[in-house]
C-alpha cells in the first residue's frame, strides 16, 4: 500500500478479514466476485446472539473504534464511547466495526488487487452507501448473527445506520444516527468536489494509477483533507483555539510558510492524513456520500421507507454543526414520526461543531448511555 507510513508495521492486508461467501451486486449494476471485509470485535456474543452492536465509521475512520490501529499506530477513534463501562459497554455488548467497502484499511477498495494482480485504481466500480451496508450485512450473516441489538454511527456512519434501518429493519432493534443527514446539501457536495479536484490535479495521481507507478498524490490528498476539515469544526471553536494568532517568527519578506496558527494546524491535518489514507478511496467514498439521497431512492418521500419500521431510533445533532445541521436531523426525525416510528431527537448544545461526537461531550455521552440502557432493558438484555 503506497500510503503506508511505516514499513515495519503490519499492512492492511494482514488485518482480520472475512471473505463474503457470495458475490456482491452493486447499485451500479456491476458485481464484485471477491469481497474482503476487514473488521474488529470487542466483548462477547451472548448465547442468544442478541447483544451485538455494529459501529459504522465516518469518511476517514476505520474499524479501530476501540483499540489502536496496528497499521498506523493511531489510537482508537472513539475511546470515550466504546469500551468497558462506557456508553457502548463492551462488558455488556459484542461490538463489531468494519472498514467500509471502498475503504483502504483492509476491505476491498480501489487500492486492493484486481484479478489481474494489479491494483483496481479507478477501474474499481462506483459504490454507494447502500452497497456499503450490503457488504456489512454479508459480514454480519457470515458471523452467524441474525439480528443486531443496535447499529450506531456518526456522519457517514449515520447514513449507514439509516440505510440499515431501510434495508433490513427486521435485523435492527435500535438505530442511533449521529450528526448526519438523509442526503448531502449542495454545499457539502461543493466542498468534497474541491477535494476531489485537488487530488486529480496532483501530477502524481497518474489518472488513478499511482500505485502502479510507485507514486502517491500526497499534495492533492492533503489539500482535500484541509478543505474537508474546515467543515468539521465551528467558527466559534476556531476562534477559541486560534483566532488570528500568528506564528512566532520574523516576517521581513514574503514566505510561503504558515503565518497564522490556523494555517499551521490545517497543514498538519493534511500531512498526517496522507500517511493513513488512500487517495482513490477518498474519491470513491466521498462520491458515495454525495450520491446518497434516501428520499429520492424511495419515491421522493423520506417517510415512505420507514413506514411500519420496528426499529427504535435516537438521533443526535449538535447545535454548532454546519456540516450536517440540526435542521437536517430534524427533517429525518419528522419523517420517522410521520412513518409511525419510535423516535427521539436530542440536540446537544456545543461549540465543537460536527466533530463533537468524537470529542469530550458529557451531555451526549450520558444521553447515549441512557438510550442504550433503556433499549437493552426493552430488548431483555
- What residues contact residue 187 under an 8 Å CB cut-off, 6+ apart? none
- Selecting among 234, 317, 354, 355, the annotated active-site residue is 354
Annotation marks residue 344 as catalytic: no
Catalytic pick among 89, 218, 321, 355: 321
CB 305 within 8 A of CB 130: no
- Beta-carbon contacts of 255 under 8 Å, excluding residues fewer than 6 positions away, are none
C-alpha cell at 346: 436530542
- What's the angle, vertex CA 367, arms to CA 341 and CA 157, rounded to 5? 65
**154 vs 56: CA distance, rounded Å:** 7
Distance CA 119, CA 338 (A): 46
User: Which residues sit opposite 24 in a β-bridge?
Assistant: 32
* Residue 27 known to be catalytic: no
Cα–Cα dist 203/215, whole Å: 10
Over the Cα atoms of the chain, what is R_g? Answer: 20
Residues 6+ apart with CB under 8 A from 268: none
Q: Could you tell me how far CA 194 lies from the centroid of its own chain? A: 19
| 298 is annotated as an active-site residue | no
Active-site entry in 50, 98, 155, 317 = 155
d(CA 244, CA 259): 10
Active site residues: 155, 321, 354
Amino acid at each position: 500500500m503506497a500510503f503506508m507510513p511505516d514499513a515495519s508495521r503490519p499492512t492492511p492486508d494482514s488485518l482480520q478479514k472475512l471473505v463474503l461467501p457470495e458475490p456482491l451486486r452493486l447499485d451500479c449494476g456491476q458485481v464484485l466476485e471477491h469481497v474482503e471485509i476487514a473488521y474488529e470485535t470487542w466483548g462477547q456474543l451472548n448465547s442468544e446472539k442478541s447483544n451485538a452492536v455494529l459501529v459504522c465509521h465516518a469518511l476517514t475512520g476505520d474499524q479501530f473504534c476501540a483499540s489502536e490501529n496496528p497499521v498506523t499506530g493511531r489510537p482508537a477513534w472513539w475511546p470515550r464511547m466504546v469500551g468497558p463501562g462506557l456508553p457502548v459497554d463492551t462488558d455488556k455488548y459484542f461490538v463489531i466495526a468494519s472498514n467500509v467497502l471502498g475503504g483502504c484499511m483492509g476491505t476491498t477498495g480501489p487500492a486492493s488487487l484486481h484479478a489481474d494482480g494489479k491494483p483496481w485504481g479507478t477501474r474499481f466500480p462506483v459504490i454507494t452507501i447502500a452497497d456499503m451496508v450490503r457488504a456489512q450485512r454479508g459480514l454480519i450473516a457470515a458471523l452467524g448473527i441474525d439480528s443486531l441489538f443496535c447499529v450506531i454511527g456518526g456522519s457517514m456512519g449515520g447514513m449507514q445506520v439509516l440505510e440499515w434501518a431501510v434495508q433490513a429493519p427486521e435485523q435492527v432493534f435500535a438505530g442511533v444516527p449521529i450528526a448526519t443527514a438523509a442526503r448531502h446539501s449542495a454545499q457539502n457536495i461543493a466542498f468534497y468536489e474541491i477535494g476531489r479536484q485537488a487530488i486529480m490535479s496532483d501530477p502524481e495521481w497518474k489518472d488513478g494509477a499511482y500505485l502502479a507507478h510507485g507514486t502517491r498524490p500526497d499534495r492533492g490528498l492533503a489539500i482535500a483533507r484541509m478543505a474537508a476539515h474546515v467543515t468539521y469544526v465551528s467558527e466559534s471553536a476556531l476562534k477559541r483555539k486560534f483566532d488570528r494568532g500568528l506564528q512566532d517568527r520574523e516576517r521581513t519578506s514574503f514566505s510561503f510558510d504558515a503565518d497564522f496558527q490556523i494555517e499551521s494546524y490545517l497543514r498538519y491535518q493534511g500531512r498526517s492524513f496522507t500517511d493513513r489514507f488512500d487517495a482513490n478511496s477518498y474519491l470513491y467514498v466521498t462520491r458515495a456520500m454525495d450520491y446518497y439521497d434516501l428520499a429520492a431512492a424511495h419515491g421522493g418521500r423520506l417517510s415512505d421507507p420507514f413506514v411500519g419500521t420496528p426499529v427504535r431510533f435516537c438521533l443526535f445533532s449538535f447545535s454548532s454543526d454546519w456540516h450536517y445541521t440540526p435542521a437536517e436531523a430534524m427533517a429525518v426525525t419528522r419523517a420517522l414520526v410521520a412513518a409511525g416510528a419510535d423516535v427521539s431527537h436530542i440536540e446537544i448544545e456545543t461549540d465543537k461543531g460536527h466533530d463533537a461526537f468524537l470529542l469530550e461531550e458529557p451531555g451526549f455521552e450520558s444521553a447515549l448511555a441512557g438510550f442504550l440502557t433503556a433499549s437493552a432493558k426493552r430488548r431483555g438484555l
